[in-house]
């Protein structure tokens, strides 16, 4: 089996591994079919296995298994201060010379919002991870790359898609690219934030069925693996290095699993990259604020009630705790059947069939992640029946401060919620990354916070969101030469990625980092809400003009 075949194979699992010690160590530990380098610290080991199970977690650690991410979007230029910048006669900030990277569902490269006046493309390149035929793409052994020259050749053809078979079937990626960097289209009363920048597009391949099944994700929902998002970021950075240009990258995806403290592999990658000169990565906080998917444990003994509204194929949830304390748990079905009191360890492996409900429960104890002492207990319900499922937790900690999360809304069948949820600490990964620019959303029409926006802070008290930008009913391009509106923190992220491109152009002589852009946004933000900063608005609403001219 070639590496390209392995990457797409449903009988091969992907592990995110430490690459610092070299491929020889990876080969000894994982015995993989092949290895793909993400950067000098991380790689992906592709190993011939059909299913993620307790043995996988026990051997290699929970942190090596990719999480899955969903899409975070379903007047703004004036509200964010971009129009005020454009009205300054001594400024010419439209993103000239800057790359804008989008890792998402692809792009409609034929849309007029991405064409120059001579009908050539403003897209520097597209890496379509879903196309199986092709050569290596900047060190990645899957997908196919389309260069600017190839895109222009296709645009001159009567059937452009016959030459470049890369489509955005969803429309999410096209929309975010348009908000960040679409052309100024006066007839449509639309303009992207950085309309003279060039785009680098990554179309992520969807998650393998093994990961959908493991995380119990419905088959008809867009779902993407963490390692493919990481490779997408790495590809964009390699393009920026080759072209010697600065780049602002928009990540409009998110997930609800992990310890929510910025310590997943993707978060640690973003932390490092946002310290580099000429690189800025912008993420969304997610749309989970009112989803009832977070429970905060603060007492030695807790009864956590999960209301499963509809019988379904199942769901997962994670309980995060920290050693050296001792934690015990039990699970009670709607019919009153119990799992039995169990002590949580890093090697917990339990399978229990609740016969009355015909529901199979698997409980897995995860190894601590590489960057933290946090431990995880994952509860996987298969064929879950409607009713109240209870998880009883008993801890010997003097001060209990543990958390439990259900997946993001679109990864659940029907309404599955905590009966007594906590709306705070609901920011999705990778929005908890310490040095990422993490965006919440508000409605520019009335100034109100987007009701579903996730709220901070992180469990360790890191301030997230950083700032809040317009993200409700924004107008932008959709595939097949259409326009429409979307709402969500992913939309606010795209708008802010465009603003980051303007900042990078303004300070091109200094070649600033993403961390510097984050500070610019914070210092110019208009304070909102109670307290400063606060869990809903962060440091306030983005004011692009004030951030540049702050004194």
Question: How many angstroms separate the CA atoms of 421 and 296, rounded?
Answer: 7
C-alpha dist (Å) from residue 516 to 102, 279, 281, 312: 20, 10, 11, 46
Query: Which of these ranges, 18-27, 104-113, 464-473, has the smallest mean pLDDT?
Result: 18-27
Q: Which pLDDT score is estimated for 348? A: 81
For 75-130, what is each residue's pLDDT tens digit?
Answer: 444 555 555 555 555 566 889 999 999 999 999 999 999 999 999 999 999 999 99
For 257-307, what is each residue's pLDDT tens digit?
Answer: 999 999 899 999 999 999 999 999 999 999 999 999 999 999 999 999 999
Is 450:435 a contact under the CB 8 Å cutoff? Answer: no
Is 359:381 a contact under the CB 8 Å cutoff? Answer: yes
Which one is predicted more confidently, 367 or 316?
Answer: 316
Nearest to 538 by CA among 489, 455, 466: 466
List, in sequence order, every residue forming a beta bridge with 543; answer none if it has no partner: none
Q: Which pLDDT score is estimated for 89? A: 55
Q: Which pLDDT score is estimated for 85? A: 56
Q: What is the percent of the chain with per-residue pLDDT over 90, rounded to a whole number?
A: 78
Q: Using pLDDT thresholds of 50, 70 and 90, give the confidence band for residue 198.
A: very high
Q: Using pLDDT thresholds of 50, 70 and 90, give the confidence band for residue 551.
A: very low
Cis peptide before 125 (omega within 30 of 0): no
Q: Using pLDDT thresholds of 50, 70 and 90, give the confidence band for residue 550.
A: low
Is 280:438 a contact under the CB 8 Å cutoff? Answer: no
With b meaning 16 or more CB within 10 Å and e meaning fewer, what string describes 162-195? eebebbbebbbbbbbbbbbbbbebeeeebbbbbb
List, in sequence order, every residue forming a beta bridge with 413; answer none if it has no partner: none
**Residue 58: pLDDT over 80:** no
| Token code pair at residue 307 | 């209301």
Angle subtended at Cα 171 by Cα 169 and Cα 175, rounded to the nearest 5 degrees: 155
**Residue 54: pLDDT over 70:** no
For 479-500, what is each residue's pLDDT tens digit?
Answer: 999 999 999 999 999 999 999 9
Chain mean pLDDT for the chain: 91
For 399-414, what is each residue's pLDDT tens digit?
Answer: 899 999 999 999 998 8
Number of H-type helices and E-type strands within the chain = 14, 27
Nearest to 178 by CA among 159, 160, 195: 195
Nearest to 321 by CA among 303, 339, 344, 341: 344
Which one is predicted more confidently, 40 or 6?
Answer: 6
The single-letter DSSP state of residue 261 is: S
Q: Which pLDDT score is estimated for 88? A: 54
The whole model's pTM is what?
0.95
All residues at 6 or more sequence positions from 121 whose CB lies less than 8 Å from its CB, including other chains: 109, 114, 115, 148, 151, 152, 155
With b meaning 16 or more CB within 10 Å and e meaning fewer, what string describes 347-375? ebebebebeebebebbbbbbbbbebeebb
For 424-446, what is each residue's pLDDT tens digit?
Answer: 999 999 999 999 999 999 999 99
Q: Which pLDDT score is estimated for 20? A: 79
Kindly write down the DSSP assignment for every residue of 303-323, as one continuous string: EEEEEE-S--SEEEEEEEEET
Half-sphere exposure of 411 (CA within 13 A, CB side): 31
Q: Which pLDDT score is estimated for 60? A: 79
Is 467:521 a contact under the CB 8 Å cutoff? Answer: yes
Identify the sign of the CA torsion 337, 341, 346, 350: negative
């Amino acid at each position: 089996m070639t590496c390209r075949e392995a990457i797409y194979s449903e009988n091969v699992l992907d592990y995110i591994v430490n690459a610092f010690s070299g491929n020889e160590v990876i080969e000894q530990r994982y015995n993989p079919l092949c290895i793909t380098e993400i950067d000098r610290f991380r790689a992906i080991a592709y190993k011939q296995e059909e299913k993620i199970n307790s043995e996988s977690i026990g051997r290699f650690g929970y942190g090596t298994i990719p999480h899955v991410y969903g899409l975070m979007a379903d007047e703004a230029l004036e509200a964010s201060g971009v129009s005020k910048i454009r009205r300054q006669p001594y400024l010419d900030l439209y993103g000239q010379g800057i790359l804008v990277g989008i890792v998402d569902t692809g792009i409609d490269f034929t849309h007029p919002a991405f064409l120059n006046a001579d009908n050539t493309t403003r897209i520097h390149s597209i890496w379509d991870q879903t196309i199986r035929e092709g050569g290596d793409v900047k060190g990645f052994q899957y997908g196919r790359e389309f260069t600017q020259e190839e895109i222009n050749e296709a645009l001159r053809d009567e059937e452009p898609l016959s030459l470049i078979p890369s489509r955005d079937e969803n429309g999410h990626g096209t929309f975010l690219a348009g908000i960040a960097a679409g052309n100024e289209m006066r007839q449509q009363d639309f303009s992207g934030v950085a309309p003279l920048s060039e785009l680098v597009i990554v179309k992520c391949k969807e998650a393998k069925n093994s990961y959908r099944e493991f995380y119990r994700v419905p088959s008809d929902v867009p779902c993407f693996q963490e390692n493919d998002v990481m490779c997408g970021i790495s590809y964009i950075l390699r393009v920026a290095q080759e072209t010697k240009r600065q780049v602002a990258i928009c990540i409009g995806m998110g997930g609800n699993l992990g310890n929510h403290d910025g310590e997943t592999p993707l978060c640690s990658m973003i932390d490092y990259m946002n310290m580099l000169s000429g690189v800025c990565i912008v993420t969304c906080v997610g749309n989970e604020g009112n989803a009832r998917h977070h429970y905060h444990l603060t007492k030695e003994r807790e009864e956590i009630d999960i209301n499963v509204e509809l019988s379904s194929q199942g769901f997962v949830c994670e309980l995060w705790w920290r050693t050296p304390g001792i934690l015990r748990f039990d699970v009670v079905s709607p019919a009153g059947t119990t799992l039995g009191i169990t002590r949580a360890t890093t090697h917990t492996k339990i399978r229990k069939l609740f016969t009355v409900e015909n529901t199979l429960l698997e409980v897995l104890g995860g190894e601590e992640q590489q960057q933290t002492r946090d431990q995880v207990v994952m509860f996987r319900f298969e064929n879950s029946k409607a009713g109240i499922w209870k998880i009883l937790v008993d801890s010997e900690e003097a001060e209990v401060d543990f958390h439990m999360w259900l997946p993001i809304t679109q990864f659940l069948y029907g309404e599955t919620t905590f009966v007594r949820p906590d709306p705070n600490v609901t920011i999705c990964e990778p929005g908890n990354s310490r040095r990422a620019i993490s965006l919440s959303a508000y409605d520019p029409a009335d100034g109100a916070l987007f009701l579903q926006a996730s709220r901070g802070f992180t469990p360790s008290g890191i301030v997230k969101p950083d700032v809040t930008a317009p993200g409700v009913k924004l107008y932008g391009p959709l595939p097949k030469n259409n326009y429409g509106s979307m709402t969500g923190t992913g939309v606010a992220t795209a708008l802010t990625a465009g603003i980051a491109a303007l900042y990078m152009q303004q300070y091109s002589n200094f070649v600033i980092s993403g961390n510097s852009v984050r500070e610019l946004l914070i210092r110019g933000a208009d304070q909102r809400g109670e307290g400063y900063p606060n869990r809903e608005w962060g440091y306030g609403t983005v004011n692009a003009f004030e951030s540049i001219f702050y004194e």
